[in-house]
Chains A and B, each alone.
Chain A
Amino acid sequence: MRVAGERAFTAPRKAVWRVLNDPASMAAMMPGVESFDVQDDRHWKANVKIPLGLGALGMTMDMEKIEEREPEFARLSIKGNGVGAILSMNTAFNLSEEGGGTKMDWEAEVRIAGPVGSMGQRVLQPIVNQQVQHVLAALEEQVNKAQDGGAPVAGA
């Protein structure tokens, strides 16, 4: 399924870019991260336990930055392997300067397969949407931290 949106930050583009490319803050953004290894500047590996109230869904995630135009554009491919599910995600964001701040257009193509799929879309879609919202909220937090607490403009 495809999810996309737009978000605005008061922080300057470079600050946002830094956060989005800093493994540490990346780790802080992901839901239920247990370990996060940087393999090289393009490849990261993480073990996550995505919290689903009825029990967490353990996954190993391989992330690869497949495209990058500093400081405005990057595309990442994320492959998750877990017992309950196999996840593949292709996400890209575009940063543009807007006033003093930054506008981020993002999109993600998320594919989930495996046993969790047999629970049906009624469960899957809301889960994905919700996790995406978590990531965005976390991102905002990181950006704010990075440029000590400039309040974010309400994101659309």
Chain B
Amino acid sequence: MSETTTVTEPIVVEEGETRPGFAGQNVPRKEDKRLVQGEGVFFDDVKRHNMGYVHFVRSPYAHAKIRSVDVSKALEHPGVFGTMTGDEVALLTDPFFQISSPPGAHLKDFCLAVGKARFVGEPVAAVVASTREIARDASELVEVDYEPLPVISDAREALGEDAPVLHDDAGTNLTWEGVYEWGDLDQAFAEADRVVKISELHFDRFNSTPLECNGALVEFNRGTGQWTIITNNQFPGFAAIMMGPAMRVGLDKLRFVTQDIGGGFGNKITSHPQLVACCLLARKLKRPVQWTEWRTDFHLSMSHGNERWFQDTEVAVKEDGTLLGFRTTALDDAGAWLRYEPLGGVIWAQVTPGMYRWRHIRLDFKQVVTNKAPVSPNRGYSRMQHLWFTERIIDIVAHELGLDPVEVRKRNYIKAEEMPYETPNGCIYDSGDYSKMLDVALDLIGYDELDTKRVDAESRGKLLGLGIGSTLDSGTNNFGQSRLINPELQFSGNNEVATVKLDIFGEIVVTLGTTPQGQSHETTASQVVADILGCSIDDVNVRAGHDSYWNSHAGFSGTYASQFAVTGLGAVKGATDMLAGEMRKLASVVLGCAPEDIELADGQARMKANPEAALPFMALGAIINANNAGLPEDLDVTLNCRYVYRPPFDPPDVERKYGNLTLTYAAQIHVAVVEIDPETGVYEVVDYAAVDDCGKRINPQVVEGQVMGATAQALGAATHETFTYDEDGNLLTPNFYDYHVPHALDMPPIATGNIESPSPFTSMGTKGMGEGGGAGIHAVCAALQDALSSRGKPVVYDSCNPYHRVWELLSDPEASRQRVSVEAG
């Protein structure tokens, strides 16, 4: 069972701090009432008259030339409305805009495979029919003539001299590379007493597998030339700028509508190719079409997390365990297409030093394409890989130098008094006290009784180990970091929009630009609004979901990258402050006093001096909307306030790869205890503690929920979840048969704790949070290494360690030890 410990820091009440009220309370979620009754509206719940069902014909080959696609038999099949092939797509659309600088920039990515298929499951053609079943029947009648080509199923082979090239347009599989160097490596290694070398570490391919897969219902309005896309894409702002140019239409022709989304975790950002295919089909067939992605389709083709190798790592360490710096090469496997990549090539840099004070860092980032599903953001996107790597360094160094991992961390953690802390690459860690968090975590796990627990486990024939994972969840991107990938890009900063209005009957209506997938935006937004307007959260109606027609969105609108608590609520607060000002102004005109004399409370605007003189919100709404004769001409009040929140960012220095890449840094410290059966390598996480610091918490229960959920995903990723391919490029874990996610009985007891270090950079002291699961992946890796240390000191080098990998470490520890060496500095 889970339990909670809270160590509340005195919250610095700053300018703009909301008054004590609903914020900080566990108010019940507004979303729940519909969801527990099965009355949520997910994309697949929406139906239209005469709609057709889309089924994609997918490549069974990982790499093959497409000689021909013959849809004639499919078209003759009863119930079939029509088809679409790559050849049509190549005529009707332009390739998707590429984020990458050359050679990645040269990729020609269409919504269906054109000329060549590059991974198993890649959509090659689409069929639309009157039922789901008939669409699939007909898809089997589409005759595709493939000429199989050699396959790259391991990124480390992608750069070989005789390696097949996936994209002739790029001419190489190395689609993006960048050298990042800060500080003085030579000096660091000269100062070092020890140099710990690690030949290779590997972060596995997996993703968060939201329970609802991707899909959309797409309608085309022939009169206006506009598409309505009812979907679960979680970043419509991005989808629109990818789709519009490709489809040769203005963005206003693409109306995105979402309500409830069955989980996203980043995996629903890159569905734009399939959405384009649906748009083309809806227009061609003159009817609404619905695409529902099934689980096996999702695993085969959508949004894997970045697989990454860290090669030839060298760490400069002092005798006492002080870390000076490291150099490494990160080889990143993007899969077959760059659908959001190569942004992963810079996103990691938000947390360059992890939680540690080392100043001298060099990382050579190489991203290659392979015959696997394209990667996309996945909860903890790109930082998770890098933070796992820095944590691995800590434990391997401690392991090899005979130091205590707890001590090494405490010695090297950035200190509370150093906050805000500028990292070697110019990121500003806003606040936090990592050592204290570690103490809370160790206390929760009963660190003092560790030795007793080991002995007890031994008596049961088990090997017990404890491991720590400390990570940062960097939230609110500065999109200017994309310029470190491609200086030509004209992106920087960030934004989110909210509109708050007071309606004719005094109803407060809040419209967000975000696309929540379980993050409780309707609830937390209402808490912020109610506190500012002095009313109850029940008086606040937050519209569910996102609709471009509401005009309450901007270029970066969506729900991704840990930012709602900052950008989303920042926009809500901004719009609500504007509305409050207008309400005061209007009331002051009516009551004949100065706006400063008006206070908003109990659902009224009233004179501070004389609360009897009060106007209920309904009166204010009615006056502006329906009874405005005689109001002063110059009264600038609409009671409908749209606010665009813009975090304070400058574009980074492209030359030095230097600048603040994210606004807030929530911290997580997780501790795992595992017990291994040495006879089999089978192990169990028997105890677990997760401590989180995301600054001011608007709704602690919601924050807690994010922590628990991220932890469960981490445990899955650490133990069983991996997208493994064979040498022919077949995915060996294409659905829940072989891709095992945690079920209820797999969950260890989890004790949670938190401290609150408000962010000095955000309007409410909040920080984005929710992507902190990475800590758990490392905690398990470290616990396994600790438990195995009595069995030949094997080194854990994979992020995912299913039983067979633990068995390999048990039966041949030397093989893993070959990867590390310690030399005098």
- Where the two chains meet, the residues of A that have a C-beta atom closer than 8 Å to any C-beta of B are 83, 86, 88, 111, 113-114, 117-122
Contacts and interface: CB of A to CB of B under 8 A. Distances in A.
A121 B737 CA distance: 10
Contacts of B738: 120-122
A86, A118, A120: residue with the most chain B Cβ atoms closer than 10 Å: A118
Given A111-B728, A121-B732, 6 more contacts: A113-B60, A113-B120, A118-B296, A118-B735, A120-B738, A121-B738
B228 interface: no
Contact of B61 (A113, A118, A119, A120): A113
Nearest to B141: A83
B727 to A, nearest CB: 10
B728 A117 contact: no
A76 B734 CA distance: 31
Given A113-B60, A118-B296, A88 B148 contact: yes
B730 A119 contact: no
Contacts of A83: 140
Contact of B737 (A113, A114, A120): A120
Contacts of A121: 732, 738
B378 to A, nearest CB: 22
A154 to B, nearest CB: 33
A118 B734 contact: yes
B730 A117 contact: yes
B92 to A, nearest CB: 29
A30 B389 CA distance: 52
14 contacts: A83-B140, A111-B728, A113-B60, A113-B120, A113-B728, A113-B730, A114-B60, A117-B734, A118-B296, A118-B737, A119-B737, A120-B737, A120-B738, A122-B738
Interface in B745-774: none
A48 to B, nearest CB: 18
A114 B121 CA distance: 9
Contacts of B120: 113
A127 to B, nearest CB: 15
A111 to B, nearest CB: 6
Contacts of A113: 60-61, 120, 728, 730
A105 B359 CA distance: 62
A119 B730 CA distance: 12
Nearest to A121: B732
B592 to A, nearest CB: 74
A66 to B, nearest CB: 15
A88 B62 CA distance: 14
Interface residues of B, number: 13
Q: Which 5 A-B pairs have the closest CB atoms?
A: A113-B60, A114-B60, A86-B60, A118-B734, A118-B296
Nearest to A82: B140
B60, B728, B737: residue with the most chain A Cβ atoms closer than 10 Å: B60
Interface string B58-72: 001100000000000
A101 B61 CA distance: 42
A121 B61 CA distance: 17
Contacts of B737: 118-120
B310 to A, nearest CB: 29
Nearest to B299: A118
A47 B496 CA distance: 60
Nearest to A112: B730
Interface in B715-735: 728, 730, 732, 734-735
Contacts of B148: 88
Contacts of B730: 113, 117
B729 to A, nearest CB: 9
A114 B140 CA distance: 11
A126 to B, nearest CB: 15
Nearest to B735: A118
B296, B728, B735: residue with the most chain A Cβ atoms closer than 10 Å: B728
Interface string B403-443: 00000000000000000000000000000000000000000
A111 B737 CA distance: 20
Contacts of B140: 83
A137 B480 CA distance: 67
Nearest to B733: A120
B741 to A, nearest CB: 16
A121 to B, nearest CB: 6
B524 to A, nearest CB: 40
B425 to A, nearest CB: 43
Contacts of A88: 148
A133 to B, nearest CB: 22
Nearest to A113: B60
Nearest to A85: B60
A103 to B, nearest CB: 30
A118 to B, nearest CB: 5
Contacts of A118: 296, 734-735, 737
Contacts of A122: 738
Interface in B118-167: 120, 140, 148
B138 to A, nearest CB: 12
A125 to B, nearest CB: 11
B148, B730, B734, B735: residue with the most chain A Cβ atoms closer than 10 Å: B730
A86 B60 CA distance: 7
Contacts of B735: 118
A122 B296 CA distance: 17
A14 to B, nearest CB: 36
B132 to A, nearest CB: 16
Contacts of A120: 732, 737-738
B735 to A, nearest CB: 6
A75 to B, nearest CB: 17
A139 B732 CA distance: 32
B64 to A, nearest CB: 10
Nearest to B737: A120
A135 B61 CA distance: 26
Contacts of B732: 120-121
Contacts of A117: 730, 734
B111 to A, nearest CB: 22
Interface in B276-311: 296
Nearest to B143: A81
Interface in B31-56: none
A114 B731 CA distance: 11
A120 B733 CA distance: 7
Nearest to B739: A120
Nearest to B731: A117
Nearest to B738: A120
A86 B144 CA distance: 12
A113 B64 CA distance: 13
B314 to A, nearest CB: 39
Nearest to A79: B148
A128 to B, nearest CB: 13
Contacts of B60: 86, 113-114
Nearest to A109: B728
A11 to B, nearest CB: 36
B485 to A, nearest CB: 35
A122 B732 CA distance: 10
B728 to A, nearest CB: 6
A120 B296 CA distance: 11
A109 B805 CA distance: 27
Interface in B614-647: none
A50 B451 CA distance: 59
Contacts of A114: 60
A120 B148 CA distance: 22
Nearest to A88: B148
B579 to A, nearest CB: 53
A70 B256 CA distance: 67
A121 B140 CA distance: 23
Contacts of A119: 737
B118 to A, nearest CB: 14
A4 to B, nearest CB: 17
Nearest to B137: A83
A86 B732 CA distance: 16
B135 to A, nearest CB: 15
A34 to B, nearest CB: 19
Nearest to B148: A88
A81 to B, nearest CB: 9
